[in-house]
Amino acid sequence: MTFVDERAEGRSVAVRPQGGPSVSVAICAYTMRRWDDLLAAVDSVLAQVQPDDEVLLVIDHNDELLARVREQFAGATRVRVTANSGPRGLSGARNTAIDESRGGAVAFLDDDAVAGAQWLERMRSALADEHVMAVGTAALPDWPGGRRPAWFPPEFDWVVGCSYLGLPEVPTDVRNVIGAGMAFRREAFDLAGRFSTVVGRIGTAPTGCEETELCIRLRNAKPGTRVTYLPDVAVSHHVTPDRLRLRYFVRRCFGEGLSKARVARLVGADAGLSTERRYVTSVLPRGVLRELGRGVRGEWPGFLAATLIVGGFLVTGTAYAAGRLMRAGDAA
């Protein structure tokens, strides 16, 4: 669950229409199963890059995929391919992209996402403001069959790596960006370092929060730093059928709770959970009432959605508590 906090600075964001740094767009990939998605992601970015930009494909410890990607893009002048030189996992791959990149900013697009129109230029324009160190865009779910399942609560779209109900609806300064589509000024990594390999996704393990932890460190490293969210700019994030199974929902919530516990250990509970408190006390109760209302009106999936909201909260909270207790036990 990659939360953003619209109250971080308490003001709306004016986005410059022009200017900004050159951008290295990094797409990190780890599995052959997403081959078609990866090609679509690259095509969506190549349609937007400017002469000083580049696309950097980082392959995460998969020799077969690395060989195929190198063959596929052997003649592409705007695309560079490299292997993850760090620890296995998304954080290691992203850190390799930072080290290998040449742009004044580094953007990250998931290998199963497609950048929408103006995605790159809108982020570039936001980064033209020297106080903006990071910018993120919305991630909209591309559901199997093209329709949201009637039982899936929009408050939990973070389970499938997407923007969720409760996020800002206008450009706003936030606590952290969403990992599926985001960009950082190069200076940000000089100030705050790289993505932590203590948190974050490794393969299909349902964990995350590495961009949350980095954004918090960045804001702490330089007071006045702005992290901006552009909800009117989006990437389309492919949702596979297996992510709509109850087992995955529970695993993802449990993994999120453990990830939040790790973030809290690294940056403190106040910063690590500032947005989650509002989500739990305001967003989720409204969602339960809405879905129960649907059920009462004869839309039976509403009862299931309300149950998932309550169950997802309980699983995530239990995992967070367990993660904190495990750390306390280690310290003892």
SS3 state at 235: strand
| DSSP H or E run through 96 | helix 90-100
According to DSSP, the β-strands at 181-185 and 105-109 are antiparallel
Query: Distance between CA 62 and CA 16 in Å, rounded?
Result: 40
What is the dihedral angle through the alpha carbons of 63, 67, 73, 79, rounded to the nearest 10 degrees? 30
Q: Check: CB of residue 234 under 8 Å from CB of residue 171.
A: no
pLDDT of 215 over the 50 cut: yes
Higher pLDDT, 295 or 6: 295
Q: Say which CATH topology domain 23-240 has.
A: Spore Coat Polysaccharide Biosynthesis Protein SpsA; Chain A (3.90.550)
pLDDT of 265 over the 50 cut: yes
- pLDDT for res 260: 83
Among 189-198, 228-237, 244-253, the least confident range: 189-198
pLDDT of 204 over the 60 cut: no
Q: How far is CA 18 from CA 21, 118, 120, in A?
A: 10, 12, 12
Dig out the tokens for 18 from the structure: 């022009």
| DSSP H or E run through 187 | helix 186-192
Instruction: Please tell me the pTM assigned to this model.
Output: 0.88
- pLDDT for res 184: 97
Q: Check: CB of residue 177 under 8 Å from CB of residue 212.
A: no
Contacts of 97 (CB under 8 A, 6+ apart): 24, 26, 28, 56, 58, 82, 106, 108
> What average pLDDT does the structure give for the chain?
88
C-alpha radius of gyration, the chain, whole number: 19
Among 52-61, 223-232, 282-291, 317-326, the least confident range: 317-326
- pLDDT for res 272: 46
Most confident of 12-21, 69-78, 318-327: 69-78
* pLDDT tens-digit map of 71-111: 999 988 899 999 999 999 999 999 999 999 999 999 999 99
Number of helical H runs and strand E runs in the chain: 11, 9
